[in-house]
Structure 1
């Protein structure tokens, strides 16, 4: 599935920045600064989506952890790295403020509400992507679409919704930085027990091929977040630099 990016569990709100100003309150009341009615055509659906998003936020208490390939210091790995890649090394300490993250990935049903509310066409209604289009699987979007969706949520609520930084994503996927190689309920995959069967994955979409799976189909990680890194690629806010780990600041790194 090269080239397909799924809208992942990356709707994040930084609690230290929370609060509504007058402009944000106006947006929630359906008016702009000039007093004009700007309610979307699907206002009830928008309100329900915003409420669901708020209800699904998982609080992540801040702290420090070793970010990157922790295999060499994990006794379970026998001193060996978990990955062959150089861009998740060197292992380095990172300290994060508290934040909240969505327990679930953003589905096509969610994203369709957003595009209707903002007057945009539905995404992935033709071409090979349409095979993987189902209401309850992760929406396939590019980085800009993911960022704009988060900004829309921020406009709707007056709260600082955004894509997570890479550090926030990894810290949450590892349940506050524990030595968990994968974001399952115990850090490992046992197909049929804590990971879906091939048949369950294929049944998730109209496609006869293996692709994205239904959101929430497997148990969450110990933090309570589902399928991080296990249901398609996911976007983070950071731009990319292969050697960023060599120069990353320790506190709240935001990428190169």
Structure 2
């Protein structure tokens, strides 16, 4: 009986959301945070894809869609040091009056477990400082374009090449986007599901959960990579703006973006950081792993970049 009551309460909460427009101060705080949290990434040349270590051993041996590597040249850009937070994302959806698009009543079944409301409770899956899980690719892209409109800066989702270049500390041959280039798992998830406590102290330098225990730590909980970027290994997987195709032959060599879908893989965009999905076998948690996902997939987070060659003051 208690279980039934809890489910009814959950469904009731899931069907409700704060859809009132945000205040000017709330919007201003989101925009100010975006400006302050940009990390400048100096451009250069690197080989996009699994380059292997110094001994020639591949980092991601079971995948074929990230080989052979391709030499790429990128202009400098700036990237948000953390994934977009749930709190900022909800303010955006309220500002553009699309909260109600993602409710149970309007057919968005994901709202049963993650209703579009922001919480101040660190235990809540809706805790405002946890990374956002966008309901689809389009809203992730829309968020970055909204930042561009409001700030006058050329914000966008990162290209796949920008994402990997930054995760690899400007293209170095490393496996993980952590402070050390290696992973030390947060121990609080190494326990039965019923015993997982979001308030358990942070340990290690990365969150890689099992696919059965979907959990997120607040952004910035772990040390950043050498460029100052957090959670490019683990926490949540991230959308990029490229259309998915296996390999990199289709990309240009300068500032590449797969801007057109292929007929074979139509409708799929590139997702990076598979450690954020709980996958961590066969090198799939490394910064080289990639996959194509349908545009309406709802599990992934994202961060934005500013496509400007000079640092943002």
| The two structures share one fold, judged by TM-score above 0.5 | yes
Gaps of at least 5 residues in structure 1 are: 1-39
Whether 1:198 aligns to 2:201 is no
8 Å CA contact 1:204, 1:214 repeated in 2: no
2:77 to 88, 99, 114: 99
Deviations 1:165-184 (A, max 9, x none): 00000000111111221110
Alpha-carbon shift at residue 108 of structure 1 (Å): 0.9
Match status 1:174 vs 2:168 = yes
Which one has the bigger helix percentage?
Answer: 1
Q: CA deviation at 1:159?
A: 1.1
Structure 1 counterpart of 2:231, from 227, 233, 243: 227
1:49 maps to 30
Deviation at 1:147, TM superposition (A): 0.5
Q: Is the 8 A contact 2:22 2:91 kept in 1?
A: no
- CA positional deviation for 1:248: 2.0
Distance 2:76 2:213 in 1: 39
With structure 2 as the length reference, what TM-score do the two structures score? 0.61
**How many angstroms apart in 2 are the aligned matches of 1:239 and 1:144?**
13
Aligned-residue RMSD, C-alpha: 2.4
2:188–2:197 contact (8 Å) kept in structure 1: no
Query: Are 1:239 and 2:243 matched, yes or no?
Result: yes
Aligned-partner Cα distance in 1 for 2:79–2:180: 20
Is the 1:42–1:116 contact (alpha carbons within 8 Å) kept by the matching residues of 2? no
Question: Which segment drifts farther, 97-106 or 129-138?
Answer: 129-138
- Pair 1:140-2:121 in alignment: no
| Structure 2 gaps, min length 5 | 1-20, 104-109, 116-123, 200-211, 261-313
2:145 aligned counterpart, secondary structure: helix
Q: CA deviation at 1:56?
A: 0.1
Report how far residue 246 of structure 1 moved.
Answer: 2.1
Aligned length: 207
Match of 1:212, SS state, is coil
TM-score normalised per structure 1: 0.74
Residues 51-91 of structure 1, C-alpha deviations (whole Å, 9 max, x = no match): 011000000000001110011xx22xx32211111111111
CA deviations on 1:22-78 (whole Å, 9 max, x unpaired) are xxxxxxxxxxxxxxxxxx64110101110011000000000001110011xx22xx3
